Amino acid sequence: MTGRIITCRHEIYELPELLEWRVVHTGTVPCDTYSVTFLYDSSMAEQLHLAAGFLAMEGGDVMLRGIVDEYTVELGRNGLLATVTGRGYAARLLDNESRPMTYETATLEEIVRNHVTPYGIVTAELAAVRATAPYTVAAGTSQWKVLENFCRTFGGFEPRFGRDGRLIAAPERAGETLWVDDDSPVLSCVLREDHYGVLTEVLVIDKTRNVSYTVQNRDMMEREGQCRRVVYTPGQSTWAAMRYTGEYQIRESAKDERLVELTLPGSFLAFPGDTVELKLTKMGLSGSYQVTEAENVFSDSGATVTLTLGERT
């Protein structure tokens, strides 16, 4: 992999050979992150001082487009090294808050125009979603939350970013498929099932109308789980919105209940949204899993990728 710095003057600077790097893809929040280390000399001082953007390139393809959060220069036993770290473009929306407002009627296009486009983000795909009820943005809400809540409430999907830094505000489509079986060069595989925090019931209350809606997680209740939450929604919530709020809370709490962490040699073998078909006899793992996070690491010991997999629903 190679790295490029984009300065605030829109100049592109090719970084020296990368000695170590780490690129984590999530596509959503927590957002993509990266870290790259290379040999430093004083001629790079100005470019690093002005660094605003970063490109990770592999074989001519963009693996990650992000912002620069920090750089360090260190003199040590390995010589004079510089390290640049940062996050994906979702950070631009996370780092900025919206003023409070209420949309009596709104479309996703309008939400993107008011809360996304002003931060230099380009949209790759935009679904035709229209609010079916007033949409309220509370004080202190990040621009990401404004977008995310709108997409989830009225579209039933989560917005995400492509590796090129462009926003995809549309239902997820099937990605690529990676096949892993007993003959694959698996470096490690960890299965984890964690029931802590998995909700069994959510009581959604509309504060203005003083009405409520209960959503239950029957599967967890039958396993004698007990974890209830009470969620308050803004006034004028529809029954559908209240039901979705409860279902979303339960779904999010159970998202990490059963995970597989799979480490393979190589890098950029799969990305969030892709499918991994597992058939590891010794572990009793068989079936389709969805990549939720992909961590790619390179050091003097070689390149590895660790995929976090959730069961595909």
Any idea where the domains of the chain sit in the sequence?
2-88, 93-169, 177-193+257-311, 201-254
CB 157 within 8 A of CB 127: yes
pLDDT at 222 over 80: no
CATH 3.30.450.20 for domain 2-88? no
pLDDT of residue 241: 65
pLDDT of residue 206: 77
CB 214 within 8 A of CB 202: yes
Rounded CA-CA distance 34/84 in Å is 8
Cis peptide before 265 (omega within 30 of 0): no
Mean pLDDT, the chain, whole residue set: 90
Q: Which residue has the tokens 């309220």?
A: 136
pLDDT of residue 249: 75
Alpha helices in 63-171 (DSSP H): 90-94, 108-115, 143-150
DSSP 206-272: ETTTTEEEEEE-HHHHHTT---EEEEEE-TT--HHHHHHHHHHHHHHHHTTSEEEEEEEESS-S--T
What digits encode the pLDDT tens for the residues 269-309?
A: 999 999 999 999 999 899 999 999 999 999 998 999 999 99
CATH of 93-169, one of 3.55.50.10, 3.30.420.40, 3.90.76.10, 3.30.70.1520: 3.55.50.10
CATH 3.40.50.300 for domain 177-193+257-311? no
Rounded CA-CA distance 224/69 in Å is 45
Rounded CA-CA distance 123/129 in Å is 15
Give backbone dihedrals phi and psi of 215, rounded to 5 degrees, phi first: -120, 135
Burial of 25 (0-12, 13-18, 19+ CB in 10 A): buried
What digits encode the pLDDT tens for the residues 47-81?
A: 999 999 999 999 889 999 999 999 999 998 889 99
User: pTM for the complete prediction?
Assistant: 0.84
Which H or E run contains 69?
Answer: strand 61-76
